[in-house]
């Protein structure tokens, strides 16, 4: 489970190298916390609604910490628009995650409770938000690839590798599931 790194700024402050360094430091801290959370959390078949609530609350605490650190970053002009796009999404995602955590806290650990939670407006909004984040990541990667294919970065040795690292650090692209519509779907899939 990766935690999305998010920042807000008007653009033009840090150099891209310093910006990447700042994001990488935040991402390393968030990843360590997320790995601990993932290791301590039950997996799908054993997950209760209260476990889900705990996971979402703890992930939210990590996101708040990242947001606080990221608010101090003034991104370089060449990534300011992307920065704003990502951070607007992240803010919406945090609110959606909190709403789902609140509902999960009051959901009974029964088939009916899980079915209701899985079909709820809060879960639908959560899945939609994950899908939107995945789309932002995929779209940016496509734009980055197209720019690299055109050779626009031929004279700039840090691109596209370092810029790709910015996307990875900011979005945690590996976290996005192949099909966000399957997140916390009831009944859980069986292996076998």
**Does any domain span residue 192?**
no
Report the percentage of the chain scoring pLDDT > 90: 29
**Does any domain span residue 10?**
no
Tens digits of residue pLDDT in 54-90: 999 999 999 888 777 777 788 888 777 777 787 788 8
pLDDT at 11 over 50: no
Residue 164 confidence (pLDDT)? 57
**Does any domain span residue 7?**
no
144, 163 contact by CB (below 8 A): yes
- State the average pLDDT over residues 106-110: 96
| pTM to 2 decimal places | 0.76
Helices of type H across the chain: 16-40, 49-70, 80-105, 111-118, 121-149, 161-171
**Does any domain span residue 100?**
yes
Q: Which domain holds residue 76?
A: 16-182
Determine the Cα–Cα distance for residues 52 and 54; give it in Å rounded to an integer.
Answer: 5
**Does any domain span residue 138?**
yes
Residue 52 confidence (pLDDT)? 94
**Does any domain span residue 61?**
yes
């Amino acid at each position: 489970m990766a935690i999305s790194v998010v920042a807000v700024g008007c653009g033009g402050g840090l150099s891209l190298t310093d910006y990447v360094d700042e994001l990488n430091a935040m991402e390393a801290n968030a990843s360590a916390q997320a790995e601990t959370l993932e290791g301590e959390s039950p997996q799908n078949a054993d997950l209760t609604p209260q476990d889900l609530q705990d996971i979402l609350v703890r992930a939210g605490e990590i996101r708040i910490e990242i947001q606080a650190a990221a608010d101090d970053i003034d991104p370089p002009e060449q990534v300011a628009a992307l920065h704003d796009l990502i951070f607007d999404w992240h803010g919406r995602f945090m609110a959606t995650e909190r709403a789902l955590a609140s509902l999960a806290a009051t959901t009974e650990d029964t088939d009916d409770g899980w079915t209701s939670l899985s079909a709820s407006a809060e879960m639908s909004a959560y899945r939609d938000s994950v899908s939107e984040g995945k789309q932002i990541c995929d779209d940016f990667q496509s734009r980055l690839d197209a720019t690299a294919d055109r050779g626009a970065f031929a004279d700039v040795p840090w691109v596209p590798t370092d810029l790709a690292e910015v996307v990875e650090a900011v979005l945690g692209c590996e976290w996005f599931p192949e099909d966000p519509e399957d997140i916390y779907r009831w009944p859980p899939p069986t292996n076998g």
